Amino acid sequence: MLMIHCPHCEETLPELEFAYAGEAHIDRPVKPSDLSDEEWRDFLFIRSNPRGQHFERWRHVHGCARFFNAVRDTVSDQFLTTYKSGLPRPTEDELKELAR
């Protein structure tokens, strides 16, 4: 079982309490009506789906119920870090340090 660190509870807890919630750092357009159909499609459906480090949202649904962001390696399933929603994504240097 994966153990996931919740940045709100500040505890590392079993995966069963959490739910995956898609890719992180995707801002909803401020004025959706200004977007072309293609841009709106990209916002709704087009995701990066990388092999390796993936920035994603998780929700501690059966705990504090908050959403937060995580960086997970999609190959090894290792969580590099988790951080509260709204914070900037970790820099590449920070991630390299965490991956070591």
Partner 1 sequence: MTQTISNTLNMMTKIGHPAGSQAIADMKGPVDIAFNETCARFNLRIDPANLAKASKTFGLDIPASIHGYAKDGGRSALCLGPDDWNIYGDEADKDAIAKAFADLYADAAHSLSDISDRQLSISLKGAQVADLLAMACPRDLSQLAVGSGTRTLFDSVEVLLIKHSDEHFEMEVWRSFLPHVWAMLQLGNQELVIDEVLNKA
| Contacting residues toward partner 1, per CB under 8 A | 1, 8-11, 13-14, 16-17, 62-66
Element containing residue 23 per DSSP (H, E)? strand 19-23
- From residue 85, alpha-carbon distances to 12, 41, 49, 66, 69 in Å are 17, 24, 20, 9, 6
Minimum CB distance to partner 1, residue 82 (Å): 15
Minimum CB distance to partner 1, residue 64 (Å): 4
Give whichever of 2 and 35 is closer to partner 1, judged by the CB atom: 2
The runs of H, that is alpha helices, within the chain are 37-45, 92-99
Minimum CB distance to partner 1, residue 34 (Å): 32
Give whichever of 13 and 99 is closer to partner 1, judged by the CB atom: 13
User: Can you tell me the distance from the alpha carbon of 44 to that of 82, in angstroms, rounded to the nearest whole number?
Assistant: 24
Minimum CB distance to partner 1, residue 73 (Å): 23
Sign for the CA dihedral angle at 26, 39, 28, 22 comes to negative
Give whichever of 11 and 94 is closer to partner 1, judged by the CB atom: 11
